């Protein structure tokens, strides 16, 4: 027994008649022009955007952490008796760990202690955009006044 003429439309989800202005052949060819190549391109672009978002989040986290470390080291150096830079650098190196790629420098004046923490970003994919943005490195400074009791 042959299928009625509207059988493909019913099998694909249409009940009854096809919409006005549509024939069976035009309705079945609405997907013309989509191919696996465009689908793969769309998925690739989505994954690139996810990679950039993830690397930006990691860079922002690292930047925040390095800034907080510089401020805390400067505060500890300002509170230290004697050599403020030795105390600040020792504390920062201990917090960074022995195998860290970050470097710490300190300058102490008569009124303040300045600590600089610098090194490569923890997000290596952002180095591709370093030409215009400078995202491949982290460089944070913190300065704290030395206050003494009189």
**3-state secondary structure string, 59-106?**
HHHHHHHHHHHHHHHHHHHHHCCCCHHHHHHHHHHHHHCCCCCCEEEE
Whether residue 19 is contained in a domain is answered as: no
Whether residue 62 is contained in a domain is answered as: yes
Q: Which residue has the higher pLDDT, 1 or 97?
A: 97
Answer yes or no: is pLDDT of 101 > 70. Answer: yes
Number of domains in the chain: 1
Specify the pLDDT at position 122.
86
Q: Mean pLDDT throughout 30-38? A: 71
Whether residue 88 is contained in a domain is answered as: yes
Answer for the pair 143, 72: CB distance below 8 angstroms, yes or no: no
Tens-place pLDDT, residues 51-92: 989 998 999 998 999 999 999 999 999 988 888 899 899 999
Answer yes or no: is pLDDT of 27 > 70. Answer: no
Specify the pLDDT at position 64.
93
Q: Which domain holds residue 50?
A: 42-145
Whether residue 61 is contained in a domain is answered as: yes
Whether residue 26 is contained in a domain is answered as: no
Highest average pLDDT, of 13-17, 88-92, 98-102, comes from: 88-92
| Averaged pLDDT score across all residues of the chain | 80
Answer yes or no: is pLDDT of 47 > 90. Answer: yes
Specify the pLDDT at position 97.
81
Whether residue 51 is contained in a domain is answered as: yes
């Amino acid at each position: 027994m042959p299928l009625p003429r509207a059988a493909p439309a019913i099998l694909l989800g249409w009940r009854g008649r096809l919409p006005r202005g549509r024939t069976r052949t035009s309705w079945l060819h609405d997907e013309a022009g989509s191919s696996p190549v465009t689908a793969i391109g769309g998925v690739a672009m989505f994954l690139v955007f996810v990679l950039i978002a993830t690397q930006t989040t990691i860079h922002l986290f690292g930047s925040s952490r390095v800034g907080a470390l510089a401020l805390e080291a400067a505060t500890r150096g300002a509170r230290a008796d004697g050599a403020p830079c030795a105390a600040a650098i020792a504390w920062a190196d201990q917090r960074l760990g022995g195998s860290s790629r970050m470097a710490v420098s300190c300058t102490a004046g008569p009124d303040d202690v300045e600590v600089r923490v610098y090194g490569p970003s923890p997000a290596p994919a952002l180095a591709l955009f370093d030409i215009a943005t400078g995202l491949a490195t982290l460089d944070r400074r913190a300065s704290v006044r030395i206050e003494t009791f009189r």
